Amino acid sequence: MVGLTIVVVHLILAFTAPLIAPYSPTHIEPSVRLEGPSADHLFGTDSFGRDNLSRVLYGGRVALLVSFTAAVVAVTWGGLLGILLGYLGGRVDEVVMRVIDGLLAIPSLLLIMLVILALGSGFSVLVLTLGYGYGLTVVRIARGATLAIVARDFITAARARGERSRTIVLRELMPNVLDVLLVEFAMRSSWMLLAIASLSFLGFGISPPTPDWGRMVFENSELLAIAPWGTVFPVIAISSMVIGINLASDALSKAMGLERTQEAPL
């Protein structure tokens, strides 16, 4: 409940940012550069005189939208392919899994940065690239869950009744793998959030002046000694959101009797 509450609060703040943000997140006011927290600017201002509170609120919209959308993409295509491979088995399963093993040998963040360098850092490119990179692991998880189910009697009975493969996958296998995919979605969401923050910090995220938590940390990192609030508040936002998602996904996995044994890839 604590984790879910944190996530819900972040979502509410992100969706209501246009209503509650005191200033425009891109408005530059040189006369108030690097001001500390005050009644006018609760989180202070950055080196351009932009209000940090407004940028944190709007930055959450970008981070959460990209993270959750990319997680949906990863779990959808990875889950469907994993279920299909687990059901088919044989040579097709062996060949495809060896290809996926080869792709997993490439560091995800490096591969994502190369794609962004080639195609740009637009919203659709980030979502599809992150969804592809993190969906490869989902394929393995979904395949493993399917292999544990495909040998059960009700699958054998469905085959004996002459049901089509499409029907067996959609009506018999997918509902029984759904709990694993739900936990994977929660886990991938937190990993996506860290990934987009890392990409933005390295200059591969959403292009400025659109506010983004990772970009805010990068822009204000050299001013920690004199104006730490521009870095501290987006870091708190990132860490609290990741903690909230992890707590919620841990509870979800325990409620469904699943074990979270994987660590986030570097």
pLDDT at 258: 64
Q: Which amino acid is at 239?
A: S
> What is the structure's pLDDT at 253?
78
User: Quick one: tokens of 2?
Assistant: 């604590």
pLDDT at 243: 92
Residue 13: both structure tokens together:
């703040």
Instruction: Give the Cα separation of 226 and 206 in Å (integer).
Output: 27
Classify the C-alpha dihedral 5-178-257-259 as positive or negative.
negative
Residues of the chain with pLDDT under 70: 257-266
- For 257, half-sphere exposure in the C-beta direction (CA atoms, 13 angstrom radius) is 4
Spatial separation of the C-alpha atoms in residues 47 and 72, rounded to whole Å: 36
What crossing angle do the helices spanning 2-15 and 52-88 adopt, rounded to 10°? 120
Cα atoms found within 13 Å of the Cα of residue 126, Cβ hemisphere only:
24
Q: Are 234 and 56 in contact (CB under 8 A)?
A: yes
pLDDT at 212: 85
For 97-120, what is each residue's pLDDT tens digit?
A: 999 988 888 887 888 888 888 887
Angle separating helix axes 52-88 and 174-201, nearest 10 degrees:
140
Q: Which two three-digit tokens encode residue 8? A: 């819900």
Question: What backbone torsions phi and psi does residue 45 show, to the nearest 5 degrees?
Answer: -130, 160
How far is the C-alpha of 202 from the C-alpha of 124, rounded, in Å? 19
> Under 8 Å CB-to-CB from 88, ≥6 apart: which residues?
165
Q: What is the DSSP string of 143-192?
A: HHHHHHHHTSHHHHHHHHTT--HHHIIIIIIHHHHHHHHHHHHHHHHHHH
Query: What whole-number distance in Å separates Cα of residue 64 and Cα of residue 203?
Result: 18
Cα first-last separation, the chain: 28
Question: What token pair was written down for 203?
Answer: 């200059």
